[in-house]
Structure 1
């Protein structure tokens, strides 16, 4: 059954939109009629998946000047941003005593600073419209500490704090702000983490995969489309009272 084009005329910005969760959300929004700008650091990856409804734009969320410039360009090309999905991020585990300042700062800059800059710049045009949806892609690691992932957990806790505070700022308006908190999703990030976990724990890659699968309460990896479905729900009819929430997509209670 063909979906209604209820998001026609809406411009969406999805960071980290070339692969994984970001791409699934971008494609889902486009399927409902939105004009979607996808960003990432690797233009060639974005251009491989871009088309009529997805516009590729290289942008480094760690770079304030780049975020400002590219967001302005996206607005000039497609109008005010009414759906902002702050998805860009990196996920890598490392025990605290092995965490260098360089590792810490890069993850903070990408995951937390990047979300802050993306939201700040997107809201400049969104506030001039009569409807807006802000969605941050956090993690269950933002709701509970992830063993062996102190830095990653700290960034995701920060994203949730940012989301909750921003929802208060716009309380009573036509703009809602919510966080999606998935468990382990079947994306290239999981593929990379298999090797990392195996090396850190001294186990096989099959065993490392089982560690991630078992961390999801329903004992399977989550499909990116499941996260995208939650994003669509937050942008759809009847979602206006869902605000300041952290929606767990992890197969059960965390």
Structure 2
């Protein structure tokens, strides 16, 4: 949606094939990047600048999820989740910050989660990383409130994406439920009883990036069918 509004898009991620699929639709630039590797981030941002100019809008949406009872959670799993979901976000924003502070109307939008707002059984590391992401967002919003940059977060419930498919598989494996029952259990964690449409998230991100949204700053906006009401 942002590309349809006139933005030039740089698409960063580890796997080039899905990036190229989106690039063909958006006329964007697909750039390989691993947010757990600082050199990879800086190289990707340099490439993005070379292709599309200085960065005005930064959507931080790299994330992974895993599940385990807390007493069985490993330090390796904890480190992996925090590295991508929180440290990766920190490094990504720092890499783009010099450009953003030069912009006349800059935006940072973190894709967080309703797990940023409550505890999540069997996903303490994921919830901790997403709580940390809101702390990062709110601190930046307060620190740069007098600048021309806003910093906000979108907090979705369960979304109709492959990541939710992976969650279904994990719940099925951990609980012994059939895949259909596991999917129903996850879907019903959204008060609406349905998964969130990814396009609804894209629409909200676009709204936050519009010039008229310059006074929305430090907001954590839920999009979960009413679960957080």
Query: What TM-score bracket applies, with the shorter chain setting the length?
Result: over 0.9
**Correspondence for 1:40:** 13
| Aligned position for 2:23 | 50
Q: Tell me the residue number matched to 1:12.
A: none
Q: Does the residue aligned with 1:119 lie in a helix, a strand or coil? A: helix
Q: Does 1:242 find its partner at 2:177? A: no
- Aligned residue in 1 for 2:76: 102
Pair 1:117 & 2:91 matched: yes
**Aligned with 2:2 (options 11, 29, 32):** 29
Deviates more, 1:41-50 or 1:187-196: 41-50
User: Which residue number in structure 2 is paired with residue 200 of structure 1?
Assistant: 174
The answer (yes or no) to whether the contact 1:135–1:231 under 8 Å persists in 2 is yes
**SS in structure 2 at match of 1:38:** strand
Instruction: Determine which of 177, 183, 188 is the counterpart of 1:214.
Output: 188
For residues 46-85 of structure 1, what are the structure 2 equivalents within 5 Å? 46-51=19-24, 53-85=27-59
Could you tell me whether the CA contact under 8 Å between 2:107 and 2:151 is conserved in 1? yes
Q: Which runs of 4+ in 1 moved over 2 A?
A: none
| Structure 1 range deviating more: 178-187 or 45-54 | 45-54
In 1, Cα distance between equivalents of 2:128 and 2:68: 12
Q: Is the 8 A contact 2:190 2:227 kept in 1?
A: no
Cα distance in 1 for partners of 2:211, 2:102 equals: 21
Question: SS of 1:221's equivalent?
Answer: coil
Q: Could you list the runs of 5+ residues in structure 1 that have no partner in the other structure?
A: 1-27
TM-superposed CA distance for 1:237, in Å, is: 3.6
Question: Per-residue deviation at 1:216?
Answer: 0.4
Residue in structure 1 matched with residue 135 of structure 2 by the alignment:
161
* Partner deviation per Cα, 1:175-200 (whole Å, 9 max, x = no partner): 10000000000000111111110111
Q: Does 1:171 align with 2:145?
A: yes
Residue 230 (structure 1) shift = 0.6
Q: Is the 8 Å Cα contact of residues 75 and 125 (structure 1) preserved in structure 2?
A: no
Tell me, yes or no, if the aligned pair for 1:34 and 1:53 is still in contact at 8 Å: no
Greater mean alpha carbon deviation, residues 232-241 or residues 212-221: 232-241
CA contact under 8 A between 2:160 and 2:198: conserved in structure 1?
A: yes
Aligned twin of 2:203: 229
- In structure 2, the partner of 1:4 is none
Q: Post-superposition shift, 1:48?
A: 2.5
